[in-house]
Structure 1
Amino acid sequence: MTDPKDLDPKALRQAFGAFATGVTVVTTRQPDGTPRGFTANSFTSVSLDPPLLLVCLAKTAHSADTFAAAPHFAVNILSEDQKAVSGLFASRAPDKFAQCAWTPGPADMPLIDGALATFTCANHQLVDAGDHLILIGRIHDFATAEGQPLGYFRGNYFSVGIEKDLAEAAAATKGSRLGAVLACNGGVLLKDDGKLCLPLAPQPTLDSLTASLTAQGLMPEIDFVYAAFDDRSTGGHAVYYHGTVHGTLPNGYRILPLADLASAALANPAEAQMLCRYAEDFRNGSFSIYHGTETTGQTRQLGA
């Protein structure tokens, strides 16, 4: 096992960036009433009883001392059209609150207009954690709004929706691929050119995938990202969507029945594992999203 002192900080930061998160702006007031705020994606719900949440703040941040001493703070979860707000509060601009719309909320905490959710908290506990402070807040008030969240993945923003931006940001790296698990006539569509594989896009974009299938007389309908993982064999990423497809089967394709998915001899072991999971998901009537590597990872259930 590697000694923690020998870990490469840059590589570790990139590894942390593999976890897609939302984006928040954390706000408070100085003793003289001046509003302060910073952008953070290290936001986590902690407890419902009592209602607690946490955010992490670098000790080197200009506002670290202010937040450590403040009796209250607020967390604003940004919507997908608030990239500029995120960038503003990640900067060292001296007049951040003069450049965005905000409203005084409970405990006079600054709340960002247009946020998807806001939480006003009392400073419940301050934990010293290496080069960061963990601010644990006890929630006294909260509000929510309709909309899509602003996401952050590997140093880039994305909008959740169909997760297209996230998938294509991951697949844009050299050695990456983008494909799909497409249900069709009681089975799954496979490419068969002597070796079985799932349909892949000529270029690692969703538009490229759908255009390629459409050009062959098929009509794909994409639902959501089914698997996104680091493929160490190529040094890139693999992103596979879930969906359905209709139309006359073109040459070089076949339908693999659901009953045969678990024993399918696919050329790519990761795709073979994916079809085993698909068969299980289909039986359970509840689909999931996989993330990890080509061999090990975690799944998150989506529902029926």
Structure 2
Amino acid sequence: MSDPKALRNAFGAFATGVTVVTTRQPDGTPRGFTANSFTSVSLDPPLLLVCLAKTAHSAETFANAPHFAVNILAEEQKAVSGLFASRAPDKFQNCAWTPGPSDMPLIDGSLAQFTCANHQLVDAGDHLILIGHIQHFTTTEGQPLGYFRGNYFSIGIEKDLAEAAAAAKGSRLGAVLACDGGVLLKTEGEHLRLPLAPQPTLDSLTDKLTALGLQPQIDFVYATFDDRSTGGHAVYYHGTVTGPLPPGYRILPLADLSDAPLTNPAEAAMLTRYADDFRNGSFSIYHGTETTGQTRQLGA
């Protein structure tokens, strides 16, 4: 068998989010620990799981508790993660929290909170697998706290870097937005183009779409490249959009993307790649120029 430390490092190659799992002792005292070994299990019935080391001080408490909660941390909650990963005896006195359903402690500011009934406890080597039946959950907008190879990282930093690159070169920022089995496009006479922001910031783009009566949801940077035809830098995000179609816009089906009359050749190539990505079920990020570059797969 391989060295445990090397195996831990190999596991660390999988980037995850960060959670704080909470419950109460029989006397009502709140308990909690930090975990990145969290995953969804089932939608019907609604199940999730977290893993807890048998050597953890709270292992017995969680194994016997009828309920527990999972709090998915936001990027600004590194201190909360560190607090609940420590052996500090007064964790809940040093963070903001609120009693939730079933009186479970919920960490204020979390991106999502799941209150669960203890559905099943699985003995798995040096860990316990807590499978919870989700009885209540809430979500808020924000960027998640990421964890990779033993270090925190901010998934939201790509937004700042992309906008800095765009602003520095006086370029454009747009988005490939999926909608009703196609992609949202703006009409320009007989031609089409992707929605662009009035200013090279993501907030400017979302504000513009919202003002049109749409509800955009931006996921990640889809392409960033030097456009030599305009002398600027281009950044395009991937996302989805819902809402009534405003005047001057149309939804182009995926099957028609490769032949769409796009004003900008780089956008035409991008939409051809998008159609391929969608069919393959694995999206990618493009970096280079308007004609040549590299793609990096993101996964399903």
User: What TM-score does the superposition give when structure 1 sets the normalisation length?
Assistant: 0.59
Confirm or deny: 8 A CA contact 1:37 1:63 kept in the other structure.
Answer: yes
Q: Is the 8 A contact 1:222 1:244 kept in 2?
A: no
**Is 1:107 equivalent to 2:102 in the alignment?**
yes
Return the letter of the residue paired with 1:127.
Answer: V
- Cα distance in 2 between the residues matched to 1:249 and 1:163: 23
2:21–2:33 Cα contact (<8 Å) kept: yes
**Is the aligned partner of 1:244 residue 2:225?**
yes
1:284 aligns with 2:276: yes
Distance in 2 between the 1:130 and 1:48 partners?
Answer: 27
Q: Residue deviations 1:143-170, cap 9 Å, x none?
A: 11111111101111111125489xxxxx
Partners of 1:27 and 1:87 in 2: CA distance: 15
Provide the C-alpha distance between the structure 2 equivalents of 1:38 and 1:53, rounded to a whole number of angstroms.
Answer: 16
Closer/same/farther in 2, CA of residues 14 and 164 from structure 1, 3 Å limit: farther
Q: 1:151 aligns with which of 146, 154, 157?
A: 146
1:52-201 correspondence runs (5 A)? 52-163=47-158
The structure-2 alpha-carbon separation of the partners of 1:12 and 1:164, relative to structure 1 and needing over 3 Å to count, comes to: farther
CA contact under 8 A between 2:277 and 2:284: conserved in structure 1? no
Going from structure 1 to structure 2, the CA distance change for 1:33 and 1:219 (only over 3 Å counts) comes to: same
CA distance in 1 between counterparts of 2:170 and 2:94 reads 49
Alignment of 1:300 with 2:299, yes or no, is yes
Q: Give the superposed CA RMSD.
A: 3.2
The answer (yes or no) to whether the contact 1:222–1:242 under 8 Å persists in 2 is no
CA deviations on 1:32-88 (whole Å, 9 max, x unpaired) are: 000000000000000011000000000000000000000000000000110000000
Separation in 2, partners of 1:249, 1:117: 42
Q: Distance in 1 between matches of 2:113 and 2:136?
A: 8
Secondary structure, aligned partner of 2:142: coil
CA contact (8 A) 2:222 2:284 kept: no
Deviations 1:97-153 (A, max 9, x none): 000000000010000000011000000000000000000000011111111111101
Contact 1:221–1:243 (CA under 8 A) maintained in structure 2? no
1:41–1:163 Cα change, 3 Å: farther
Q: Go from structure 1 to structure 2 and tell me whether the alpha carbon gap of 1:141 and 1:243 turns closer, same or farther (over 3 Å shift).
A: same
2:5 aligns to what?
Answer: 10
8 Å contact 2:283–2:297 — kept in the other structure?
Answer: no
CA distance in 2, matches of 1:89, 1:151: 16
Residue correspondences, number: 204
1:247 Cα offset (Å): 3.2
Offset at 1:242?
Answer: 3.6
Q: Distance in 1 between matches of 2:31 and 2:5?
A: 29
Give the ranges of 4+ consecutive aligned residues of structure 1 lying more than 6 Å apart after TM superposition.
Answer: 217-223
